[in-house]
Structure 1
Amino acid sequence: MQTTDIGNKEEGKVWHRKPTPSNTGVMVTVIRSAAAYQSKTVRFLHVTFDTTGDSFLAGDHHGNIYVLDITRNRFRLVQKTGQACTALAFNLRRTTEFLVALADYSIKCFDKDTKQLVSWMRGHEGAVSSVSVHGSGRYAISTSADTAQLWDLDTFQRKRKLNVRQSVGIQRVFFLPLGNTILSCFNDDSIFAWESDTLFCKYQLPVPDEGPRIHYKAFAVTRDGKILAAGGRSNLLHLWCLDTRQLLRVVQMPPEVRSVRQLEFLPDSFDGGASQTLGVLSQDGVMRFINIQTCKLLFNIGSHDDAITSATVSPNGRHIVTIMDNGSLNIYSVQCLTQDYNKPPPSLVKVVSGGECSALTMKVKSEGVQRPAKNSGRRVKTKVLRPPAVPMTDDKENELPDGLNKKRLVTLLKAFGEYPAKYR
């Protein structure tokens, strides 16, 4: 595993030699040392991938925004905001633009190529914890503890504002994939679905009556928008079917998990958006990836000594970027992490091996090859025939087929004047 210190560089290589992922799956660790203190580092706070999954944005505590391109092995400083960011998101319609929520409760839109400020959006009275962009790239939702605001990214005007009672509080509000539905999750574990254009309430998921309250804190939705995973102050996970609005399954994590910090589905190229692998980041800094159908633990990343604070999965499912407890970035290769359970199935071709009485053994005779006779139950000894000894070079010219040799042939020709017809 190699480490790259980007320091005060404005651009450079993410790695200096071809990554060879370690047993932990880490391709490279990225840190940023402080200018005046080489022993101190500036913490990274947030990461977000673009739609291709080949590059991602990373914002640090000093307000610097970097773009790291994994495919091209390049990093570049694209903005100095001067204050810590609280959320990051790409503008899906204009792919060079990105949104950054800042510590002063505002949201700014920048162009990563020109480094110019595109727009400045204000209206929140608390820190923005998340920014969700609609699949079309037309709208964005920003969420703080007391309000969620819907923005038109063509005009950068606020379109709607969702206020809640102070006694409830908002956990998260975000767009569902493949549709115009907004999902809002509140502190009392209630979840509502809204029409994005009219903010008409489409449905509410029933709050489970049985079992202890989970106190939802973390949410994840599959790419097809059909399965919602929710977790919180418990080692239990709820899996909801959003089509039927029913609780599909309750998954109990291992005893080491006491609370869930973050949930992320790991997409697969051939699953049609119905992701089966769910990453669960718990309070111990370990992210455990499980199969939601079989409930089997597939692999882990992070450890007690090298704890993960947050994680982001690329849309193509090839890489995972984690922010570690020490403020560094780890870039993981998913292929390396999944190679143990993604092994190809065993070959369908089976080789028939026989014992001492193999039915496929064939007896070789000097006249040719015959099919084996039926075994009457007695043990058949198979004799290995060796090729006849090669005659000496001096006798080769006297050897003729069918028992004749040159001397006898000469005698017959002298006696009869020709080779007898009866011997032909």
Structure 2
Amino acid sequence: MHNTLELHGKESGQIWHRKGTGKNGLLVNVLHSIFNVADVPLKTVHFLQAGFDRNGERLLAVDQRGNVYVFDLIRNKFELVHRTGTSCTAVAFNLRNPSEFLIAMPDFTVKCFDADKKEFVAWLKGHMAPVKEISIDSNGDFCITTSAEIAFLWELKTFERKRKLTITNKNDVCLFRAFFCPVSNYILTCFRDDSILVWDAKNLEFKYQLVVPEKNPPFYRAFAVTNDGSILVCGGKSSYLQIWNLETHKLIKIIELPKAIKEIKEMGFLSQSFDGGSHKIIAMLCQDGILRFADIETCRDLFQIGQENDSIQHFLLSSNGKFCTCTLVSGQLHIYDLATTWKELNRAPSPIVRALRSNEDFHNDTNSQITCSKGSTTTQSSRSRITLSTNTITTNKLAIKKRSHSASDRLQLKQHYATRISDKTSISSSTLDQSAFRNLPEGLNFKKLYKILRFYGEYPTKYRAFIWRCLLRLPENHGAYAALVEKGGHLTFAKLQEQYPLKSRKLLRIMQRVLSALAHWSSIFGETDYLPLLSFPFIKLFENNQLICFEVIATVLFNWCQLWFMYFPNPPVNILGIILN
């Protein structure tokens, strides 16, 4: 199970209390919510930008209020290092000084801060439009700040501007990206007309241009370069990936993507051990907000991250290939442990399970095989046919014996269950729709679960939440629940602490959040006095997963409590009459 980190009112602390990964290696879900006086969340402060350091061990993240956090994923700690007061458009670590970082401000400037000393270092001015990217060379000596019309080359030692790349025809050409190419430290500039120009970083001397085929324009929007600087992959508003060799300046491969992928917004190579910088795994953020990983050498789709109901806006891979961070539309920041994901993908196959047969069954099988081998000649004798028929008869007898024995066992089990459970709690198996439980996860069997529940009256504590989660067939609609939570706390439950005093403030906040979501989902629950008492056992059971808690309560209310509200706001006379009789 993944961890959830709430940053409200915190300036430092641990990222996770117990390290564990969820689906696709999700390590931690970072939230920054705003609470009212009653500790009810009102809205979420969205994370906008993020960046890894050179070693891929520290993560820099900035939200829309200008709060700058540094997450140390190795030492398991985070810290609020600066407050800018406004949102930013791009961030990057200063590779020359690991404690310094660069932030692109809304006033078209770039500021440099020191995280350790928590002080202002430098101010880079000159842009006339928002800076959308900050690229730093592999040595940490220079950086490029890019806007839609101009790109500046800065020296990080003195923070002086060295070169300027401008666009003369601003109406037809727009500068998409300008970034350093690894190893060679060439500067690649990519424009709206699909032209890719390569420059020398020292004096901005033009080196060469990649000639794009004129027949079908690729509409480049996303680019990725391997760490050895030899391969460039380009994608955009088309269902194709174009792979260029930067040493020969030629297009070497075109990969056709699945029909579900119509546009690629961002791309990045995933570093692996012992690949020498010649990466093969590429991550693609598509138009549906799902991050897909693929092998460009074997053209094989590996795995994907994200959901359509809570799509990914931006993503970033660490230089060591261990971590991946994603900023979502809902404003959350997800940090993935890709090492765990690779272990799951490369896991050895499960052992083969075979049944141990009795000596009698084995003897019958060998006799039938010998008889078949004797009778496999061109002229089959009547004797072999007789033996075959007798073998089939004996096997049918065995099958009949087994079936009758299992039927008697079932009858004994039913009688035994009837003595253990009263008539009030017994449920007729004919009334259950077993077709609804055919899609249970592997390892779960509805008939066995039904017998366990009838015999013991409950499921084991360790697996109880998981089993009911599967039996109730919860939709796990993250988007719908997030929309209800974003509406904030309901006025009915603002003073919940006075009516139901709880020692755990965490449990109280979760209870307020779930009850408020139920009241926003249906207004009648905002006027139901007994809803907190009814929901509390479920909230305590599913304390670590509020979405499942909400959906379980909603399922119970919708399927088994419908008749309770027939005479609302009066008491349910029909239900009370049934209880009295």
Q: Please state which band the TM-score falls in when normalised by the shorter chain.
A: 0.7 to 0.9
What's the secondary structure of 1:114's corresponding residue? coil
Structure 2: where are the runs of 5+ without partners? 351-581
1:13-162 maps to which residues of 2 (within 5 A)?
Answer: 13-18=14-19, 20-34=20-34, 36=36, 38-162=41-165
Aligned residue number for residue 225 of structure 1: 229
The answer as to whether partners of 2:232 and 2:243 remain within 8 angstroms in 1 is yes
Structure 2 Cα separation of the partners of residues 67 and 294 of structure 1: 37
For residues 299-335 of structure 1, the C-alpha deviation after alignment (integer angstroms, 9 at most, x for no partner) is 1001112311111111110111111111101111112
Structure 1 Cα separation of the partners of residues 25 and 349 of structure 2: 23
Aligned residue number for residue 329 of structure 2: 325
1:294: how far off?
Answer: 0.7
Which protein is richer in strand relative to its size?
1
Structure 2 Cα separation of the partners of residues 339 and 170 of structure 1: 40
Aligned residue number for residue 194 of structure 1: 199
1:180: how far off?
Answer: 2.7
1:17: how far off?
Answer: 2.0
Structure 1 Cα separation of the partners of residues 107 and 258 of structure 2: 40
1:35: how far off?
Answer: 5.0
Aligned residue number for residue 214 of structure 2: 209
Change (3 A) 1:66 1:154: same
1:343: how far off?
Answer: 4.0
1:376-391 maps to which residues of 2 (within 5 A)?
Answer: none
1:189-338 maps to which residues of 2 (within 5 A)?
Answer: 189-210=194-215, 212-338=216-342
Question: Cα RMSD (Å) of the superposition?
Answer: 1.9
The answer as to whether partners of 1:59 and 1:85 remain within 8 angstroms in 2 is yes
For residues 79-121 of structure 1, the C-alpha deviation after alignment (integer angstroms, 9 at most, x for no partner) is 1111111001111111111111011110000001001110011
Aligned residue number for residue 372 of structure 1: none
What's the secondary structure of 1:269's corresponding residue? coil
Change (3 A) 1:115 1:35: farther
1:252: how far off?
Answer: 1.6
Structure 1 Cα separation of the partners of residues 274 and 92 of structure 2: 26
Task: Look up the equivalent residue of 1:161 and give its one-letter code.
Answer: K
1:230: how far off?
Answer: 1.0
The answer as to whether partners of 1:172 and 1:186 remain within 8 angstroms in 2 is yes
Structure 2 Cα separation of the partners of residues 180 and 338 of structure 1: 31
TM-score by length of 2: 0.58
What's the secondary structure of 1:24's corresponding residue? helix
Deviates more, 1:7-16 or 1:87-96: 7-16
1:316-395 maps to which residues of 2 (within 5 A)?
Answer: 316-343=320-347
What's the secondary structure of 2:44's corresponding residue? coil
What's the secondary structure of 2:42's corresponding residue? coil
Structure 1: where are the runs of 5+ without partners? 347-424
Pairing partner for 1:163 from 153, 162, 166? 166
What's the secondary structure of 1:338's corresponding residue? helix
Structure 1 Cα separation of the partners of residues 135 and 205 of structure 2: 19
Q: Percent identity?
A: 43
For residues 125-180 of structure 1, the C-alpha deviation after alignment (integer angstroms, 9 at most, x for no partner) is 00100000011111100000000010111111111110012020100000011123
For residues 211-255 of structure 1, the C-alpha deviation after alignment (integer angstroms, 9 at most, x for no partner) is x22211111111111111111111211111101111111112111
Aligned residue number for residue 394 of structure 1: none
1:401-416 maps to which residues of 2 (within 5 A)?
Answer: none
1:341: how far off?
Answer: 3.8
Which protein is richer in helix relative to its size?
2
TM-score by length of 1: 0.79
How many equivalent residue pairs? 347
Structure 2 Cα separation of the partners of residues 249 and 328 of structure 1: 37
Structure 1 Cα separation of the partners of residues 165 and 117 of structure 2: 34
For residues 40-89 of structure 1, the C-alpha deviation after alignment (integer angstroms, 9 at most, x for no partner) is 11000011001111111001101111000111111100111111110011
Structure of greater Rg: 1
Structure 1 Cα separation of the partners of residues 71 and 345 of structure 2: 29
The answer as to whether partners of 2:163 and 2:203 remain within 8 angstroms in 1 is no
The answer as to whether partners of 1:299 and 1:337 remain within 8 angstroms in 2 is no
